[in-house]
Amino acid sequence: MATAPIDLRSDTVTRPTPGMRRAMAEAEVGDDVYGEDPTVRALEARVAERLGLEAALFVPSGTQGNQLAIGVHTRPGEEVILEEGSHPFHYENGAIAALWGAQPRIVVGQRGILTPVQIQAASRGNDDHLPRSRLLILENTHNRGGGTVWKPSVFGDAVAAGRSAGLLVHLDGARLFNAEVAAGVPASTWARLTDSTTVCFSKGLGAPVGSVLAGSKAFVAEARRLRKRLGGGMRQAGILAAACLYALDHHVARLAEDHENARALARRLAEIPAVRVELDRVETNMVYAEVPVDAPALVPRLRAAGLLVNSVGPHALRLVCHLDVDRPACERAADILRASLEGK
């Protein structure tokens, strides 16, 4: 039997565990569009409490959660301030403009982190010639920054800068539980400072589908209305929400294993001649490696050798650890990359 490839393309490739599948099969369900699915209601209540916000809404994806937040917080012609590599700007298909008629204002951060000075400088003020700055979006952990965790004090300063500039604040917390585990503080440390926060369950937490958007009761009521507009209203969604509840109970603390595996992988990769890894950048489950060859051309060679990764630049690879990849698999991944670069 052929050996299954080691898939480090993303933590989105995780599959539901047997325990999660049982929870899904046994979930109590109802019609969520009518507000009658008890498992969805339980998930929303738990996430709202865990984030320190009033209410929450179950949505199919993190992208939809982010876009609902933008839709509630902004009006056409207003401006959204966000870091250049942030998910809502880079990976959501132009939805800020296409769906809401808002305008992104991009700021180049340091590994995804923005300073108060940058935030205040980006805000437009009250000049009638200029778009009105309305919303600041921050991302934790920051994907394209390398899985960067916002230090709570730095995050608080950024939010305060946004508030002083008259901005609402949304947190794209797709991997917020990775930040929680890495920093050793509750997710609410960041989320409770915001007007809205998303968390995703279909990445490192291993659920097949689902994110949750949280905020005030009034915010969530409006987001629920917009969710219907975008086709996000689901019926017996408790089957999906049960997977997310299972992940909250069983898969959050174990994210520490992914972080340790990522550090071990980074150390092995750094030992390969001409491969460059900044070890101090490996804060969570992501490893970015610079290789001495054309990275997009290397990817299919690695696939043929049994390793799936993504190129993220002409000479850069991203490798993401998750619950379906253990320490021995990470070590084999480094060996496959070494062999491919050495032409073996």
Distances (CA, A) of 171 to 156, 182, 199, 224: 12, 17, 9, 18
C-beta separation of 85 from 143 below 8 A: yes
What is the distance in angstroms between the CA of the first residue and the CA of the last residue of the chain? 23
- 88, 93, 95, 98: CA torsion to nearest 10: 150
Strands 307-308 and 310-313: unpaired
C-beta separation of 238 from 32 below 8 A: yes
C-beta separation of 27 from 238 below 8 A: yes
Fold held by 18-250: Aspartate Aminotransferase; domain 2 (3.40.640)
Tokens of 104: 């992104």
Q: Write down the pTM of the prediction.
A: 0.96
| DSSP class of 268 | H
pLDDT per residue as tens digits for the range 220-230: 999 999 999 99
Does residue 1 carry a pLDDT above 70? no
Fold held by 6-13+254-341: Aspartate Aminotransferase, domain 1 (3.90.1150)
pLDDT per residue as tens digits for the range 119-164: 999 999 889 999 999 999 999 999 999 999 999 999 999 999 999 9
**β partners of residue 308:** 7
CA distance 269 to 334: 6
- Mean pLDDT for all residues in the chain: 97
**β partners of residue 212:** 58, 199
pLDDT band at 3 (very low <50, low <70, confident <90, very high): confident
User: What residue ranges do the domains of the chain occupy?
Assistant: 6-13+254-341, 18-250
